[in-house]
Chains A and B, each alone.
Chain A
Amino acid sequence: MIDKAILLEKMKTSPYKPMKARIIEAKMVTENEKFFKIELEGKINLSHEPGQFVMVSIFGFGEAPISVCSSPTDKGFFDLTVRNVGMLTNALHKLNEGDIVGIRGPFGRGFPVDNMFGYDIVIVAGGLGIVPLRSLIRYIMHNRNDFGDVQILLGCRTPREFLFKEETKEWMRRTEIKFKCTVDRADPDWKGNVGLVTSLIPGVDINPVKTYAVVVGPPVMYKFVILKLLEKAIPDHQIIVSLERRMRCGLGKCGHCQIEGIYVCQSGPVFNYAQLKDFRGECHEGECYEKKI
């Protein structure tokens, strides 16, 4: 907890100054995604909540918000998995073990793990959505007896895009979690399910009042998944999502990440469906099942 106090103090005195951090491991995990293990100077713990994000700086290039994909129970380092899509992530992909980056954060509100104690957990991940969810999955696995049944449903466009292949194999082997995956388009080697991730939901046994569903994926995915979860009668506030937005400051000031009156970098990126419904139309058309125009 001392580490957390140090970080909060830093945020207070110089919120724009990144901490020095070293990449201690870097590897390409798909054609377009690279995995980084990062150590803060002085080996202080990031002390984040699962689902929070950090601002990664490369001086001269700028900053970008990246979800932390390790659990706070992983001590001494944290993990990022980065898709090469923009200027900063492109520069980040060129870095390797031993290189230095700047880190600000952690920012935002993570998954409400304390509220989820004692509940069954259904995790629905689409594509890159598995990245922030990995922090939650690892957290749950490290505190396994705090939770009820745990099921993970993972969907990808093609088998080549699967992230964390070794870990998902491990999840498949383990008995205390159920893991299912599917691809939109199979290739000749694929022997698993084919279809959208929504197709996995009807087959899941759910006790709705005792279940938290956590959904992360591209914006278009949410409304279809949420619809299926509502059909299972899971209450609105027990359906949890994490939204992607443009973030520049992380401090609830710069305005880029705003959804109506809400700064996603401070009040999100994790929301429950009851909150999502309250956005009267400023969320993406894919993000809210009940959105009316």
Chain B
Amino acid sequence: MKVKYAILEKQDLYRWVEYLKIKARLYAPKKKENLFVFGPVKNADEICLDYIPTILPPKKYYFPQKEKLLEFSIKPFKSEKAIKEFEEYILFGVHTCDIAGIQCLDVVFREYPEDPNYLNRKEKMTIIGIECFKYCDKYANCTSMGNNVPRGGYDLMMVDLGQNFIIHINSEKGERLVVELDYIKEAKPQDLAKLENFRNEKKKMFREELNAPLPEVYKAFSEYESFHSEVWNDVGRRCVACGNCTAVCPTCYCFDIVDELELTLNDGLRYRIWNYCQMDDFAKVATGEDFRKGRNSRQRHRYYRKFKYPVDKYNRYFCIGCGRCSRTCMADIILIETVDSIVDPANAQNYKGLIKNMPEVCQITQDTGACDDR
């Protein structure tokens, strides 16, 4: 690679977006009522690069809500892969936390036995990230998880430097999308200096959101007492098992498998559908035995699947710090509070469903029109 950093002037952004649209199907964050969602881009001005995490993470593109696995017929008995061709697509404007989420699922689905559907989709994916320079809101814990800054996993990473974007080129796939365009130029030393400056400023603003550093969190989750902590009963009492926290989590990947017949009653499709450990019947077997009874133990399971089990198995935290689970929870089960309370039960007293006072943060949660300014 010749160029490692490139510069895109802001007035050329839409031009570039149009160019990307020709290259592959383009998905980007867009406004939906007072929130944001990833969606296909029709017009470049739909894109909001100044956004808080979308309702669903971009997970829906590489691990869709309902995905065909098999095409089958009963007579004659026959089955084959339901999707033969996967299309090229670009995820545009992905936050660094969501990129960390993609890395987590990579580890899971690459582990033997590999999941061909996921890997096929992943192969067709190009990721163009955008680095945040302000906090999304009080729910985010990206700094504690180490995901507030880019750590690989993308093809291009954009940083908004004010008048222009500086783009970090991280792969050949990404490079092909910027070279040969006369309006995207190699970054000059002063651009890189400016980036350095931005990063330094950012360090001052982004502070660890959890009370304890990660190794201590892991240690706490490993202790016997934590597993039987009163915190889980409190969380379980408030939880309504709506499953929102797991639906919106970029690193939740549980699924169920169902068959659907066509009206011929002979041909059909076997799907996998998102399924959540928060559901009442998730661990229930045919004989009626439920191996994970109670909303308290199901919530505990969710937290352990972020802070304990994957660390043991993959040496990787499966919480990426996007804050979606807390943001979406009607019952105010806040991840930062729960984790702090597990680390030090004394914290549980201070919280009781009230988010602690976070440092003053830039917010675009409420309709500030941040998006419309662009």
Q: How far is the CA of A249 from the CA of B287 in the complex (A)?
A: 19
Question: B77 contacts A15, CB within 8 Å?
Answer: no
B240 contacts partner chain A, Cβ-Cβ < 8 Å: no
Question: A18 contacts B79, CB within 8 Å?
Answer: yes
Question: A86 contacts B259, CB within 8 Å?
Answer: no
Question: A248 contacts B291, CB within 8 Å?
Answer: no
**Contact residues in B for A283 (Cβ distance below 8 Å):** 291
A79 contacts partner chain B, Cβ-Cβ < 8 Å: no
Question: A59 contacts B259, CB within 8 Å?
Answer: yes
**Which A residue's beta carbon lies closest to that of B288?**
A85
Question: B283 contacts A256, CB within 8 Å?
Answer: yes
**Contact residues in A for B253 (Cβ distance below 8 Å):** 253, 255
Question: A12 contacts B228, CB within 8 Å?
Answer: no
Interface centre among A85, A219, A254, A257 (most CB of B within 10 A): A254
B183 contacts partner chain A, Cβ-Cβ < 8 Å: no
B115 contacts partner chain A, Cβ-Cβ < 8 Å: yes
Question: A256 contacts B309, CB within 8 Å?
Answer: no
B284 contacts partner chain A, Cβ-Cβ < 8 Å: yes
Q: Give the interface residue-count category, chain B.
A: 35 or more
**Contact residues in A for B61 (Cβ distance below 8 Å):** none
Q: How far is the CA of A160 from the CA of B14 in the complex (A)?
A: 76
- With contacts A60-B261, A86-B286 taken as known, whether A17 is within 8 angstroms of B254 at the C-beta atoms is no
Contact flags B89-127 to A (C-beta < 8 A → 1, else 0): 000000000000000000011010111100000000000
**Contact residues in B for A86 (Cβ distance below 8 Å):** 286
B303 contacts partner chain A, Cβ-Cβ < 8 Å: no
Question: B77 contacts A20, CB within 8 Å?
Answer: yes
**Contact residues in A for B111 (Cβ distance below 8 Å):** 252
Question: B258 contacts A62, CB within 8 Å?
Answer: yes
A40 contacts partner chain B, Cβ-Cβ < 8 Å: no
B292 contacts partner chain A, Cβ-Cβ < 8 Å: yes
Contact flags B308-326 to A (C-beta < 8 A → 1, else 0): 1110110000000000000
Question: B116 contacts A246, CB within 8 Å?
Answer: no
- With contacts A59-B259, A62-B258, A244-B285 taken as known, whether A254 is within 8 angstroms of B309 at the C-beta atoms is no
B170 contacts partner chain A, Cβ-Cβ < 8 Å: no
Question: B277 contacts A255, CB within 8 Å?
Answer: yes
Question: B255 contacts A246, CB within 8 Å?
Answer: no
**Contact residues in A for B114 (Cβ distance below 8 Å):** 12, 15
A63 contacts partner chain B, Cβ-Cβ < 8 Å: yes
User: Is chain B's binding surface mostly helix, strand, loop or mixed?
Assistant: mixed
**Contacts of A236-284 to chain B: CB distance below 8 A:** 244-246, 248-249, 251-261, 280-284
B282 contacts partner chain A, Cβ-Cβ < 8 Å: yes
B74 contacts partner chain A, Cβ-Cβ < 8 Å: yes
**Stretch from B26-34, B41-49, B65-73, B193-201 that touches the partner:** B65-73
Question: A245 contacts B291, CB within 8 Å?
Answer: yes
**Contact residues in A for B309 (Cβ distance below 8 Å):** 260-261
Question: A62 contacts B115, CB within 8 Å?
Answer: no
**Contact residues in A for B272 (Cβ distance below 8 Å):** 249, 254
- With contacts A85-B286, A246-B291 taken as known, whether A61 is within 8 angstroms of B259 at the C-beta atoms is yes
Q: How far is the CB of A203 from chain B (nearest CB, A)?
A: 30
**Which A residue's beta carbon lies closest to that of B114?**
A12
A13 contacts partner chain B, Cβ-Cβ < 8 Å: yes
CB<8 Å pairs between A and B, sample of 12: A11-B113, A15-B114, A16-B69, A17-B70, A59-B77, A85-B286, A244-B287, A255-B254, A255-B277, A258-B277, A260-B304, A261-B308
- Which B residues have a C-beta under 8 Å from some C-beta of A? 69-70, 72-74, 77, 79-81, 108-109, 111, 113-116, 224, 227-228, 253-259, 261, 265, 268, 270, 272, 275, 277, 282-287, 289, 291-292, 297, 301, 304, 308-310, 312-313
> Which 3 residue pairs spanning A and B have beta carbons closest together?
A261-B309, A86-B286, A255-B254
